[in-house]
Chains A and B, each alone.
Chain A
Amino acid sequence: MRHSSTSFWFSTFCCCVAFVGFGWYQISLNESPETAGTADFASKGALETAEQCGPARNYFANDLKKMSAVYAGNRSRAQLGTNNPPKECVSFIMQNFIPLNAKSGAIAQCRGAKGELLSSPTKGADSLGFQPPCTTEPYVNSVYNALVDVGDCLNIPVKELLPKLYNESGLHVNTLGGGFDAGVGQLTVSALKEVFVRYNMDVKQPSTLDWYMKEIAKSNKESCKRIVAEKSAYTLEVPAGKKLCLVGESEGADCYTPWSSSNRCVVMTVPSNPLRNVLFTGIFYRTMLKNATGLSYGAGSDILNGRIYREGEDLNGYMGKGNYVERLRALGATHANLNVIKQILVSLGFNAGIQSGKIYLDNYIKQREEKKKYIKNEDIDFQNVSTGKWAIVTNLPTFWRGLGSEESVEFDKAMTSLEVLRELGVDVVKAQKMYKDLRPHVQREVKAINGNAKLDEDSKQKKINELKVKYDKYRHPLLSAVFAKSDELTLPEYMRIAHAYAIITNPNAGGAPGYLSFVASKHKQLEKEMGVKVCTADQYLQF
């Protein structure tokens, strides 16, 4: 009897364990982040055919035929690393960057009307730009293979890069930004200068590009070997009668300077691109990583203090000196970690300069330490903290809309938006009075421009743009007042305001205030559409 009682309880226990185990398994099947969304991501990133796109979008077809099969062809599973995103991530991003069936000013070409190669990109005879390229198999392969090879060879997590590149270029070879930022990596003049300056500013060293190619050639990785084999990616064609110059070394007429905006097709022309563009982006990333962490590159590995770096070891660079993780944890952000800090510094570095990002972060922490104002983990969450409410002071178009638009609803919206100033104790009534007083002046000037029959549409738009700049000076004191107290806000809000302030004091600073928040929202979109961790990193811009 006693024996059977034990057996009964033992059987019951086993049943419970089995039931709970089975239930848990089922729950995990349903909720596993690895599987969520994977059922339909392939259909979302379906490739297009030349017939579907027509000639208006299939303009890379001939150039892609000249590309080696290693980059234009499909890769076998064995050739792909384990943590690479599927190719559908690339085609999905390409198809969702901008509408496919309309011309866009963000899309340029490096061939003229007669098919001739250009050195500076064109937006067509009507300056309206072009439709995005057709996402055919060779086109998507060319970008995907370049990304996974450069990522693997230079130790750059591709899944961390995708939201940033989605936000900037939609991974298109021929995206051209307002500041002449070009191609997949939206390379700016500074990014290109970084590639063509002597490595470590050492006069005995070759250019940064040549230095990296030497190190890449020492690596045993297949990805590195494939890059080395594609000479056209890192060997530039210098026009006859000219010589390739490095940054600052000569400014003579015989100097060929690849970073000049007049030569931007260097990083856009197919078939040397997209690999060349992605390689340069990778080198620029590594340079910023070196500043941020002290990690240098050697023969395919991360090097710190002359040794191969192991994950989790202490870092040098800004992160080592700044001791950000410990400081943030001491302030209450207990989930602070090196990887997210690195993402913040390096990602913002692309847009605002690596030193700017570091200075912004450093000063946020410094102010909180001084004021003994704690930081919650949620205060560092770029994915979930909304920064849009500050647009009335951080973005000229938003500030202008309520002044320049005839619609009184726009004016009312702007007046309501100004209420946000109250959060930082800035005088809202005074700000609203200023805005209200300005409107009649602006309206009168806009009317005069629009009613001027002697001006064509382009000239009118030019005059309106000048007017926007003229009245932008009324936004500056508001932004200045907000910036002075912005450390009281969350990090994403503060970063947006600090970046906006750098831009008003410097028209050439470029970039987009709120950049990290925009990138984080692309991360969220990719997670929603393609599944958690399918195209994205485990942790991104949030603790």
Chain B
Amino acid sequence: MYSRPILAVLGSVSVVLLTSAFSFHARTPFTGGGEAGPAMKVADVVRSVDGSLNVLNRQVHSRMPASAKVEILKQTLSTIEEVRKQNSLQSVDKEVYLDYSTASLEHVATDSDFSVAKCPEYKARVMIDFEPYAEHRPTHPALKRSYEIIEGICS
């Protein structure tokens, strides 16, 4: 009578065990805040960049003029660029992730005529240029965060 549920539980447990045992190349998820300060050598470039952008994401959701938020965005991107320059080139998967993280914000940072009125277009660009099939919001982790940052700047 209980054989089916027991089998199901055992099955699930073994699947979980298999997952945990089988990890070839897993990027450690970001767990803490990184330095957004001066450029420097860092132990983990991805972690450092994730940290800077996560801090930025929090900052742009606080109350301040949009122009000030864009300035913080520019500073953050400039710091990230410096960190990447001063540290060795990462493997190709990490470099692609880092490029996704920053390139998806560049169109806001480099717009000399930044205007909150253009926010819908800024948001649309993230999807048009990176996720042609996304209908409402991006879902790639790096793009999702960029989208949230743009929303924060525009709020």
A352 to B25, CA, bound (A): 24
| B residues 1-55 touching A (CB-CB < 8 Å) | 7, 11, 14-15, 18-19, 22-27
Counting chain A CB atoms within 10 Å of each CB, the highest count among B94, B96, B133 belongs to B133
A417 to B54, CA, bound (A): 40
Q: Taking the nearest CB of chain A, how far is it from the CB of B138, in angstroms?
A: 7
Interface string of B123-155 (1 = CB under 8 A from A): 111011111111100111101000000000000
- For A190, the chain B residues whose CB sits under 8 A away are 127-128, 131-134
Q: Which range contains the number of B residues in contact with the other chain? A: 35 or more
| B residues 89-106 touching A (CB-CB < 8 Å) | 89, 91-96, 99-100, 103-104
- For A248, the chain B residues whose CB sits under 8 A away are 119-121, 123-124
At the interface, yes or no: B58 with Cβ under 8 Å from chain A?
no
At the interface, yes or no: B118 with Cβ under 8 Å from chain A?
yes
Asked if B103 and A508 make an inter-chain contact with CB atoms under 8 angstroms apart, the answer reads no
At the interface, yes or no: A427 with Cβ under 8 Å from chain B?
yes
Main secondary structure of the interface of B (DSSP, over half): helix
Interface string of A338-375 (1 = CB under 8 A from B): 00000000000011111110011011101100100000
At the interface, yes or no: A112 with Cβ under 8 Å from chain B?
no
| A residues 482-515 touching B (CB-CB < 8 Å) | 483-487, 494, 498, 501-502, 505-511
At the interface, yes or no: A240 with Cβ under 8 Å from chain B?
no
At the interface, yes or no: A31 with Cβ under 8 Å from chain B?
no
- For A191, the chain B residues whose CB sits under 8 A away are 132
Asked if A201 and B11 make an inter-chain contact with CB atoms under 8 angstroms apart, the answer reads no
A198 to B128, CA, bound (A): 13
- For B23, the chain A residues whose CB sits under 8 A away are 477
- For A502, the chain B residues whose CB sits under 8 A away are 140
At the interface, yes or no: B87 with Cβ under 8 Å from chain A?
no
Asked if A480 and B93 make an inter-chain contact with CB atoms under 8 angstroms apart, the answer reads yes
Asked if A363 and B132 make an inter-chain contact with CB atoms under 8 angstroms apart, the answer reads no
At the interface, yes or no: A310 with Cβ under 8 Å from chain B?
no
A362 to B89, CA, bound (A): 13
Asked if A193 and B127 make an inter-chain contact with CB atoms under 8 angstroms apart, the answer reads yes
- For B132, the chain A residues whose CB sits under 8 A away are 188-191, 350-353, 509-511
At the interface, yes or no: B78 with Cβ under 8 Å from chain A?
no
**Which of A188, A359, A427, A486 is the one whose CB lies under 8 Å from B99?**
A359
Asked if A481 and B95 make an inter-chain contact with CB atoms under 8 angstroms apart, the answer reads no
- For A202, the chain B residues whose CB sits under 8 A away are 113, 118
Of all chain A residues, the one with the shortest Cβ separation from B135 is A189
At the interface, yes or no: A63 with Cβ under 8 Å from chain B?
no
Q: Taking the nearest CB of chain B, how far is it from the CB of A74, in angstroms?
A: 36
Q: Taking the nearest CB of chain A, how far is it from the CB of B92, in angstroms?
A: 4
- For A498, the chain B residues whose CB sits under 8 A away are 92, 96
Interface string of A144-187 (1 = CB under 8 A from B): 00000000000000000000000000000000000100000000
At the interface, yes or no: A16 with Cβ under 8 Å from chain B?
no
- For B94, the chain A residues whose CB sits under 8 A away are 484
A104 to B107, CA, bound (A): 41
**Which of B14, B18, B89, B129 is the one whose CB lies under 8 Å from A353?**
B129
A71 to B92, CA, bound (A): 48
Of all chain A residues, the one with the shortest Cβ separation from B107 is A201
Q: Taking the nearest CB of chain A, how far is it from the CB of B32, in angstroms?
A: 22
At the interface, yes or no: A426 with Cβ under 8 Å from chain B?
yes
Of all chain A residues, the one with the shortest Cβ separation from B120 is A248
A189 to B127, CA, bound (A): 9
A484 to B90, CA, bound (A): 9
A350 to B123, CA, bound (A): 19
At the interface, yes or no: B62 with Cβ under 8 Å from chain A?
no
Q: Contacts A367-B95, A509-B140 hold; do A355 and B103 have CB atoms under 8 A apart?
A: yes
Q: Contacts A249-B120, A477-B23, A502-B140 hold; do A355 and B130 have CB atoms under 8 A apart?
A: yes
- For A201, the chain B residues whose CB sits under 8 A away are 107, 111, 118, 121-122, 125
Of all chain B residues, the one with the shortest Cβ separation from A427 is B24
- For A484, the chain B residues whose CB sits under 8 A away are 25, 91-94
| A residues 260-306 touching B (CB-CB < 8 Å) | 261, 291
Asked if A179 and B128 make an inter-chain contact with CB atoms under 8 angstroms apart, the answer reads no
At the interface, yes or no: A473 with Cβ under 8 Å from chain B?
yes
Asked if B92 and A203 make an inter-chain contact with CB atoms under 8 angstroms apart, the answer reads no
At the interface, yes or no: A88 with Cβ under 8 Å from chain B?
no
Asked if A355 and B24 make an inter-chain contact with CB atoms under 8 angstroms apart, the answer reads no
A445 to B7, CA, bound (A): 11
Asked if A473 and B19 make an inter-chain contact with CB atoms under 8 angstroms apart, the answer reads yes
At the interface, yes or no: A18 with Cβ under 8 Å from chain B?
no
A353 to B128, CA, bound (A): 6
Sample 24 A-B pairs with CB under 8 A, ordered by A number: A189-B132, A190-B134, A191-B132, A193-B128, A201-B118, A203-B115, A203-B117, A248-B121, A355-B103, A359-B100, A360-B96, A363-B95, A367-B91, A477-B23, A477-B25, A477-B26, A483-B93, A484-B91, A484-B94, A486-B92, A494-B92, A505-B140, A509-B134, A509-B139
Give B contacts to A, CB under 8 Å.
7, 11, 14-15, 18-19, 22-27, 89, 91-96, 99-100, 103-104, 107, 111, 113, 115, 117-125, 127-135, 138-141, 143
- What 5 A-B pairs have minimum CB-CB distances, sorted nearest first? A248-B120, A510-B133, A481-B24, A506-B140, A201-B121
Given A441-B11, A477-B26, 16 more A-B residue pairs with CB atoms under 8 Å apart are A189-B133, A201-B121, A202-B118, A291-B129, A353-B129, A355-B103, A355-B104, A355-B129, A359-B99, A362-B99, A367-B92, A444-B11, A484-B93, A506-B141, A508-B133, A508-B134
